[in-house]
Chain A
Amino acid sequence: MSAQGVGASVLRKEDFRFVTGRGRYTDDINRPGQAHAFFLRSPHAHATINRIDHAAASKMPGVVAIFTGDDIAADKVGGLICGWMIHSKDGSPMKAGAHPALAQGKVRYVGDHVAVVIADTYAQAREAAEKIVVDYGVLPAVTDTADAARTGAPQVHDIAPNNTVYNWHIGDKGATDAAFASARHVAKIDLVNNRLVPNAMEPRAAVGEYDDASDGLVLYTTSQNPHVARLVLSAFIGLAPEHRFRVIAPDVGGGFGSKIFIYAEETVCVWAARKVRRPVKWTADRTEAFLSDAHGRDHVTHGELALDAAGKITAMRVRTTANLGAYLSTFSSCVPTYLYALLLSGQYNIPNIYAEVDAVYTNTAPVDAYRGAGRPEASFLVERLMEIAARETGKDPAEFRRANFITAFPHQTPVILAYDAGNFAASLDSALKLADYANIGKRKAASAAQGKLRGIGFSAYIEACGIAPSAAVGSLGAGVGLWESAEVRVNPIGTVEILTGSHSHGQGHETTFAQLVSGRLGIPFENVSIVHGDTDKVQMGMGTYGSRSGAVGMSAIVKALDKIEAKARKVAGHCLEASPDDIEFRDGKFTVKGTDKSIDFPSVALQAYIAHKFNGQDLEPGLKESAFWDPTNFTFPAGVHICEVEVDPATGVTTIEKWTAVDDFGNLVNPMIVEGQVHGGIAQGVGQALFEGAVYNTDGQLVTASFMDYQMPRADNLPFYDVGTTNTPCPSNPLGIKGCGEAGAIAAPPAVINALTDALGHEDIAMPASPLAVWRAARKTMAMKTAAE
């Protein structure tokens, strides 16, 4: 391993601009002559729009234009799409309600887009919007996940009777039911996986621009995948063909999934820019982010686990209702199906699994992928069931898990996935030691002596990342392939630009990708730059989500580097008058085997471009190669997190005393960055378990629409984390990488709740376990104790 190559904790290249305030985020971009957009949003969760009168508003100072759904329809702007087709049990396709960028005739959630006002300044646009008169016919709303499919519930889309998007299932029902019929013990749980608001610190923003010279569009936007945005805005929404449409995602301030999707606001900004012949800018305020960013999770689930007499799992049965909100967001349909139920086997040998998932519409913001996307919901269910099963059968939770671990690989689960590599016991052993599990009894006693309740909770999670083999996801309904692209441009002086379809919004690609290239070509780290986030520079790409940049994006770079090396070898052969086969390449030098004749990489680059040493007909001049990498399997990061909490029964305050994480991410590119990803994921997972929850009242008002009402985890809510790793390299990509971006958010919630329920001595606590909820639960604990005495 070189000092700055793969495996080294190299400090980040991007940090200088960020710590000096020189980052360039979308809202930092201002275009000459730009106007500002303000979206008039529905104050009602469900209403018909009888009439919109914007005559007075149009006369307000600074107003350039006001558009409504009628204008979108007149221009034949296509609706927003959901790119993953799910079929119901009966074979019928999912019921996708129309999703216009500006509402047409009906609004379906608070925050739905009614009109856009474009004015010289943002303040003017906002003031003018107050003068728009909308005649709403208010309808009753449905917001509750469990209640949405009830007969008689208000109907969100006519096309979807009983608000049902699909009734999907997976697994062998007959075999599973049979296994339950002969089970010795059945553990059961009813749970709610609470709705979350992603809350990247940078709110979404867009600047749309029209260039009348080329009749082309430019969109600056807060996107994790600018090429997918261009594809959708071009091919489906129909704003301009791709070759006359440039999408730029500059520095992006966090995404966590919420910036994958193609939203109404950027669609309208870039469409309106052509109409008003001026750049149009919009930046969400935080309230708008709460109302209109795609939310995450929101499942209601019943799960059961069957055990035989020896304590081995024989089957799992799951019934989930997933709330997808008022419209199907870009990838929403796959989250509670293929990203959820395929992970229900966890780290365990479970011969039979059957899961049913009903997806429903409600009058709430659309729900889509949020950090982990489906996999946190799966691991929460699996790990809560495992904990309960261990408790009910009187087994140690660590040893009960170990006894059911998958130990032989590859392992075919009953729910499609085939795990390729892992060593679950290694992570467990390491975590038990780091967490000092052996002495938990003493620590519990010490807490009890202070009148406190201490508990420890396990989470042995697995996830499917590196999303994903194109043909495989295609067969499951995905509308696109999920490969990645890379181009390696070697300049004549031997510096290198890497063009990648991955997108960095905090992950540090400028550093990690440069590590790969510098190590491979033996050139200084500083001589490599990474180009991403601009469809005019990078030809095509699928973007960053699902922990895929390393496993898929870097694999594409490796493939392109292979081609670079092969070509450079030929050039070197001509320079050294030797056959390419006789040349070895090491530490940035091409050497004729067994001699001291050598030439370094920058010199080869120069020779490739001046092309004096070889016949340009036999060997093309230049040194530039590109590659597409299509993975052959998902990757399977897995690990064990252990959370130790102390509860003060007098106040209900839960303190996280200790956090241990041991993850198997395969090979690591930059351990410092990997640890940072784990930390951030844990914090979001703890947020879900203890603090965060989006709450709609029965009228469909989002009552948690600000940081005053929605509790984000803060520095004083969280501990330092003890992070370790184990390594079984991933066999399906050249770098052996599994991916680390989502692990913490997947692992953490069940670890916290298992610790809390251990402390409380009963299972009666839901997420978020706020101090009030914990205080109530602790009173039950005290009552149980008194009764037992």
Chain B
Amino acid sequence: MPKVSMTVNGKPVSGDVDSRTLLVQFLRETLRLTGTHVGCDTSQCGCCVVHVDGDAVKSCTALALSLEGADVRTIEGLANGDKLHPMQEAFRENHGLQCGFCTPGMIMTAVELVSRKGHTLDEKTIREELEGNLCRCTGYHNIVKAIAAGATAMGAKA
């Protein structure tokens, strides 16, 4: 089996993978980083979003082998120890999650959104940018509020 090496959450990692192994399988099954979830098989739900070299990527849609040398960040790598990232804190404070299954993907999507669109996000922008993320629990109301608040908080911190 071929071997792949990359940086995940700041640590160098490597593992033997099948040529068909997806990034999400490498993360969940090889590295046991189970915070990244799989909610579909058609690249529609966004439960699996991680950052690859700073971009939000659906890890169910990338082959692990294609990411040799990449810098990957998952939900597990977002908080600073027990201190939550402002976007994580915003989801908690705004009740932006219920069952929590979509949440890691939502938060990773949101953090990357802020890096592209800045700290002042209006409702329409947030809703449009969530086109690739499904949540069955929250009706999105509190997710949209959380992302707006998280974006502001990320700016205050910077």
Q: List chain A positions with a Cβ less than 8 A from chain B.
A: 11-12, 14-25, 27-28, 30, 123, 199-203, 251-254, 256, 283, 285-287, 505-508, 672-673, 675-677, 679-684, 706-708, 712-716, 718, 720-721, 744
Whether A680 touches B123, Cβ cut-off 8 Å, given contacts A15-B92, A19-B107, A706-B42, is: no
Residue of A nearest to B138 (CB): A680
Q: In the complex, are the beta carbons of B141 and A720 less than 8 A apart?
A: yes
Q: When chains A and B are docked, how far (Å) is the Cα of A27 from the Cα of B134?
A: 19
Q: Given contacts A15-B97, A253-B37, is CB(A721)–CB(B128) below 8 Å?
A: no
The winner among A673, A683, A721 for most chain B CB atoms within 10 A is: A683
- Beta-carbon contact of B139 and A718 below 8 Å: yes
Are B92 and A21 touching (Cβ within 8 A)?
no
Contacts A21-B33, A675-B95, A713-B139 known; 4 new A-B pairs at CB < 8 A: A19-B92, A201-B101, A715-B135, A716-B130
Pair A27/B103 contact, Cβ less than 8 Å: no
- Give the interface size class of chain B: 35 or more
Q: Are B134 and A252 in contact (CB under 8 A)?
A: no
With A19-B84, A22-B35, A202-B101 known as contacts, the answer to whether A715 contacts B133 (CB < 8 A) is: yes
Q: Is there contact, CB below 8 Å, between A25 and B37? A: yes
List of A residues within 8 angstroms of B126 by Cβ: 715
The interface residues of chain B lying within 8 Å CB-to-CB of A251 are: 99-100
Whether the pair B134, A679 counts as a contact (CB closer than 8 A) is: no
**Docked CA distance A103–B4 (Å):** 42
> A715 near B20 (CB under 8 angstroms)?
no
Question: Number of residue pairs across A and B with beta carbons under 8 Å?
Answer: 179
Q: Does B93 contact A (CB under 8 A)?
A: yes
* Contact A672/B140 with A20-B84, A21-B74 known, Cβ cut-off 8 Å: no
Query: Please, how many angstroms separate the alpha-carbon atoms of A507 and B47 in the complex?
Result: 19
Question: Looking across the interface, which residue of chain A has its beta carbon closest to that of B140?
Answer: A715
- State how many angstroms separate the Cβ of A37 from the closest Cβ of chain B: 16
Known contacts A15-B92, A18-B103, A201-B45; is-contact A715 B39 (Cβ 8 Å): no
CB atoms of B98 and A507 under 8 A apart: yes
Beta-carbon contact of A506 and B37 below 8 Å: no
List chain A residues, Cβ under 8 A from B88: 19-20
B142 adjacent to A679 (CB under 8 Å): yes
CA A25 to CA B38, docked complex, whole Å = 11
Could you say which residues of chain A place their CB within 8 Å of the CB of B97? 15, 18-19
Question: How far, in whole Å, are A25 and B78 apart by their CA atoms in the complex?
Answer: 20
Taking A20-B75, A21-B74, A201-B47 as contacts, is the C-beta distance between A253 and B99 under 8 angstroms? yes
A716 CA to B88 CA, complexed, in Å: 22
Q: How far is the CA of A202 from the CA of B44 in the complex (A)?
A: 14
A24: chain B residues at CB < 8 Å are 34
**A544 to chain B: closest CB distance in Å?**
12
| 9 closest A-B pairs by CB | A21-B35, A253-B101, A18-B100, A683-B139, A506-B99, A679-B139, A506-B98, A21-B75, A707-B44
Decide if B102 is an interface residue (CB 8 Å cutoff).
yes
Q: Let me know if B62 is at the binding interface, CB within 8 A.
A: no
With most chain A CB atoms within 10 A of its CB, the pick from B47, B138, B141 is B141
Give Cα A506–Cα B140 distance, bound, in whole angstroms: 14
Cβ contacts under 8 Å, A123 to chain B: 18, 20
| Sample (29) of A-B pairs whose CB atoms are under 8 Å apart | A11-B95, A18-B103, A19-B92, A20-B35, A20-B75, A21-B74, A23-B101, A25-B101, A27-B28, A28-B28, A28-B34, A123-B18, A201-B45, A201-B102, A201-B134, A201-B137, A253-B100, A253-B101, A254-B137, A506-B99, A507-B98, A676-B98, A676-B138, A679-B140, A680-B138, A684-B136, A706-B42, A714-B130, A716-B130
Decide if B127 touches A716 in the complex (CB within 8 Å): yes
Q: Please, which residue of chain B has its CB at the minimum distance from the CB of A289?
A: B40
Interface residues of B in 97-139 (CB under 8 A from A): 97-104, 107, 123-124, 126-128, 130-131, 133-139
B34 and A21 form a contact (CB under 8 A): yes
Scoring A21, A256, A720 by chain B CB atoms within 10 A of each residue's CB, the highest score goes to: A21
Considering the complex, give the chain A residue whose CB is closest to the CB of B107: A19
Assess the A714–B131 pair: CB atoms within 8 A: yes
**Contact (A286, B40) CB under 8 Å given A28-B34, A201-B99:** yes
> Is B98 a contact partner of A720 (Cβ separation < 8 A)?
no
Q: How far is the CB of B104 from the nearest CB of chain A, in Å?
A: 5
Rounded to whole Å, the gap between the CB of A224 and the closest CB of chain B is 11
User: Which chain A residue shows the least CB distance to B97?
Assistant: A18
Task: Please tell me which one of the listed residues A254, A256, A708, A715 contacts residue B131 in the complex, with CB atoms under 8 A apart.
Answer: A715
Which of A254, A287, A718 lies in contact with B101, CB distance below 8 A?
A254
Interface contact A200-B123, CB-CB below 8 Å: no
> Given A20-B79, A21-B75, A123-B18, are A672 and B138 also a contact pair (CB < 8 Å)?
no
Instruction: List the A side residues contacting B38 at CB < 8 Å.
Output: 27, 203, 283
Partner of B139, one of A19, A200, A202, A721: A721
Minimum CB–CB distance from A739 to chain B (whole Å) comes to 16
Contact (Cβ within 8 A) A203 B39: yes
Q: A199 to B136, Cβ gap below 8 A? A: yes
Closest Cβ neighbor of A29 among chain B residues: B34
Q: If the complex has contacts A22-B35, A287-B41, A720-B144, are A200 and B99 also in contact, measured as CB distance less than 8 A?
A: yes
Q: Decide: A200 and B144 in contact? CB cutoff 8 A.
A: no
A683 touches B95 (CB 8 A): no
- Nearest CB on A from B38, distance (A): 7
A200 — nearest CB in chain B belongs to which residue? B136
B138: chain A residues at CB < 8 Å are 676, 679-680, 683
Segment 36-61 of B: residues with Cβ below 8 Å from A: 36-42, 44-45, 47
> CA–CA, A253 to B35, complex, Å?
12
Do A201 and B92 touch (CB < 8 A)?
A: no
Cα A672 to Cα B89 with chains together (Å):
16
Query: Does residue B91 face the partner (Cβ distance < 8 Å to A)?
Result: yes
How long is the Cα–Cα vector from A15 to B89 in the complex, in angstroms? 9
Whether the pair B98, A11 counts as a contact (CB closer than 8 A) is no
B39 near A202 with CB under 8 A, answer yes
User: Are A286 and B41 CB-contacts (below 8 A) given A20-B35, A202-B101, A507-B98?
Assistant: yes
B144 close to A201 (CB less than 8 A): no
Q: B76 at the A/B interface (Cβ < 8 Å)?
A: yes
Q: Please, which residue of chain A has its CB at the minimum distance from the CB of B130?
A: A715
Task: Tell me, rounded to whole Å, the shortest Cβ–Cβ distance linking B36 to chain A.
Answer: 7
Nearest opposing residue in chain B for A283, CB measure: B38
B143 contacts the other chain (CB 8 A) = yes
Taken together as a complex, chains A and B put the C-alpha atoms of A25 and B134 apart, in Å, by 18
Q: Is the CB of B98 within 8 A of A202?
A: no
Q: Which residues of B contact A201 (CB under 8 A)?
A: 37, 39, 45, 47, 99, 101-102, 134-137
**CA–CA, A424 to B40, complex, Å?**
42
Indicate the member of A18, A677, A684, A715 with the most B CB atoms within 10 Å: A715
Interface centre among A12, A679, A681, A708 (most CB of B within 10 A): A679
Assuming A682-B139, A707-B134, is B144 touching A508 (CB within 8 A)?
Answer: no
Please give, as numbers and ranges, the residues of chain B lying within 8 Å of A30 by CB-CB distance.
Answer: 32
Q: Which residues of B contact A676 (CB under 8 A)?
A: 95, 98, 137-138, 142
